[in-house]
């Protein structure tokens, strides 16, 4: 089956620093990838839609200058959390779309900002 990986799986950073999270589709090409965020005991919330070779589309309330998304190839999208603050601590999950229907999710990245 289709496999999506994320790196790192967890990261701790200091307030004010930036963190980059990678999302890779390992055995298929994904023209579209999605980034979600999940706070403890809550459901996943879509942050942005990433299309290869074009600018990401951000959901309302998500700061595009804070959450930088790059989708430079059909197998890689990156999310950079700039000037991270403790309130950015969350579980970040990407998904990659294969074909018309199925989305496959990465294992998630747990970010803790101290």
Partner 1 sequence: DAKTTQPTSMDCAEGRAANLPCNHSTISGNEYVYWYRQIHSQGPQYIIHGLKNNETNEMASLIITEDRKSSTLILPHATLRDTAVYYCISQPLTGRRALTFGSGTRLQVQP
Q: Contact residues for partner 1 (CB under 8 A)?
A: 4, 6, 32, 34, 36, 43-46, 49, 91, 93, 95, 97, 100-108, 110
Nearest approach in angstroms of CB 56 to partner 1 is 12
Asked whether the beta carbons of 109 and 23 are under 8 A apart, the reply is no
Nearest approach in angstroms of CB 83 to partner 1 is 26
Toward partner 1, which CB reaches closer, 77 or 106? Answer: 106
Query: Which parts of 1-114 are beta strand (E)?
Result: 4-7, 10-13, 19-25, 32-38, 45-51, 57-58, 67-73, 76-81, 90-98, 102-105, 109-113
Toward partner 1, which CB reaches closer, 14 or 101? Answer: 101
Toward partner 1, which CB reaches closer, 40 or 86? Answer: 40
Cα–Cα dist 52/62, whole Å: 20
Nearest approach in angstroms of CB 1 to partner 1 is 9
Nearest approach in angstroms of CB 101 to partner 1 is 6
Toward partner 1, which CB reaches closer, 28 or 105? Answer: 105
CA dist 45 to 30, 64, 93, Å?
20, 15, 10
């Amino acid at each position: 089956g289709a496999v999506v990986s994320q790196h790192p799986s967890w990261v701790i950073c200091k307030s004010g620093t930036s963190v980059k999270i990678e999302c890779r589709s390992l055995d298929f090409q994904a023209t579209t990838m999605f980034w979600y965020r999940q706070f403890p005991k809550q459901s996943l919330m879509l942050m942005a839609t990433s299309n290869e070779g074009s600018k990401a589309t951000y959901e309302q309330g998500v700061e595009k200058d804070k959450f930088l998304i790059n989708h430079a190839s059909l197998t890689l999208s990156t999310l950079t959390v700039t000037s991270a603050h403790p309130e950015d601590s969350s579980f970040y999950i990407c998904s990659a779309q294969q074909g018309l229907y199925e989305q496959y999710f990465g294992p998630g990245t747990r970010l803790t900002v101290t």
